[in-house]
Amino acid sequence: MVLEKIPLSEIGALFAVFQVAGSLVAAYLAYEVYRYDRLSRAWLSVVAALLLLSVNGLLNLAQELGTFPILTGEIALFAKNYLLQSMILLLLLFGFWGMKYKFESFEILEKRVGEKVRSFMHRMR
């Protein structure tokens, strides 16, 4: 099989490159949504989380390639595996929590407008 001939470090590096590229594209798309819908600044925390995800991917790539030996220390691994991941999680939670309330307010607005339109149409008969 082809994968048996490829060293694991090269496969890990390939996944890290994919993670960086994918998270940068996702961050760009989230920023474009924010530019379209400036009502919700929560999108900016999603953009920040996706950018941190790309930083995480770059750290993974550097670790796989052995570029920075300091990344193999216990403190560096703890910071990357737990602190960085927790920051990404908190930013995503904050962002989606903020967007949830915006969507709920749009739903309430839609119901009120619908009621007023029905009331107006009823009066016009």
| Within a domain: 115 | no
Q: Are 44 and 30 in contact (CB under 8 A)?
A: no
More confident residue, 25 or 59: 25
| Within a domain: 103 | no
- To the nearest 10°, report the CA torsion of 31, 37, 39, 45: -20
As for how many domains the chain has, the answer is: 1
| Within a domain: 25 | yes
Query: Is residue 54 over pLDDT 90?
Result: yes
Q: Which domain holds residue 47?
A: 2-95
Q: Which two tokens stand for residue 41?
A: 């600044």
17-39 pLDDT per residue, tens: 898 999 999 999 999 988 887 76
Percent of the chain with pLDDT over 70: 86
pLDDT band of 73, cuts 50, 70, 90: confident
102-114 pLDDT per residue, tens: 777 666 667 777 7
